[in-house]
Structure 1
């Protein structure tokens, strides 16, 4: 399987900022990528609070997410239950283009930094680290405590890319979504994916 056809793991934790994941999913599907989607147990609750919509059971999620992002047929979407540690993406022999955890909670950061993998999201991230594959973490927290910073440093030293959800203004954003898209674009840049319409610095 060529690099272009390898799946991308998009993982969503219970951190605030669920809109980042939604925009990333939209752009990846529009660009015909294969997306393996994991929502953590905590993300179900935060999604309902932030977006006002309940996430359905995994069996019907692909249709649900396509409706949410307005992409009916493009790309390929595979949805996983947060506790399905037997899924292909939990194995080191299952190849991917990389994994993006967006948004990434400090609880998830702490578990990954400590080498713990109690669910599918954590196990898959741990696999990407041990296999030397691209793992991109988009923490959404402020302020960072010293513990947060040390955990992020540990993960950076282990090979993860840390892309905080901090937008820029040089692209002259006109809306909140413009600010969201900047962060999404910078996160996907770490996988050499350029599918977000963004006015880049020149």
Structure 2
């Protein structure tokens, strides 16, 4: 191991066409001023959703990432397992993208990059945004989990008592980034005070039986 030249902290960010484009947008904003090198790939449908839900265009999204790729560029660096990364996070992940990744028959750079992450046994986190779920959706999620992917739907944590939608989004993304050991200070952690120290003032919330 060459400790003098450690591998760069690269994280692939995928945004697919499901509702919830704010998750991908905010993720890039949170990581922009960190040492994490973000590599962004966005599906065609995601650009439509992005504009509809946030009013932003591709030209406004691009500067938030360190490196951007066309979703049709199957020769991009992130399409190769030899390109070292921490893993990939798709926020949000549509059912179509999820299904393509599970099948291994990938037609875009976004799904090809995810397939590469799986074959290299790196961390793949899918913020699947769909409800309700039918049996085939659940079967596909199970297949992906068996392959090593982490299914992390963007479910709000009401115990954190978010005062705004922005706080809710940040907390959700902070919990997902925990899976990559990335700490940005946006998570209100159970049993901890705001300074990150354990809550020692009496019993912890939720410690009393309701039976």
TM-score range, shorter chain: 0.7 to 0.9
Secondary structure of 1:44's aligned partner: helix
Of the structure 1 ranges 47-56 and 185-194, higher mean CA displacement relative to structure 2 is found in 47-56
Secondary structure of 1:9's aligned partner: strand
Give the match for residue 46 of structure 1: 49
Give the match for residue 135 of structure 1: 124
- Contact preservation (8 Å) 1:61, 1:79: no
Give the match for residue 26 of structure 2: 23
Structure 1: give runs of 5+ residues left out of the alignment.
Answer: 66-75
Alignment map for 1:30-179 (pairs within 5 Å): 30-56=33-59, 62-63=62-63, 65=64, 77-179=66-168
Structure 2: give runs of 5+ residues left out of the alignment.
Answer: 192-211
More helix by share: 1
Give 1 or 2 for the bigger CA radius of gyration: 2
Give the match for residue 196 of structure 2: none
Whether 2:191 is the aligned partner of 1:187: answer: no
**Deviation at residue 185 of structure 1 after TM alignment:** 1.0
**What is the TM-score normalised by the length of structure 1?**
0.88
Moved over 2 A (4+): 60-63
**What is the TM-score normalised by the length of structure 2?**
0.84
**Deviation at residue 62 of structure 1 after TM alignment:** 3.5
Q: Which has the higher contact order (CA 8 A, sep 6+)?
A: 1
- Contact preservation (8 Å) 1:11, 1:101: yes
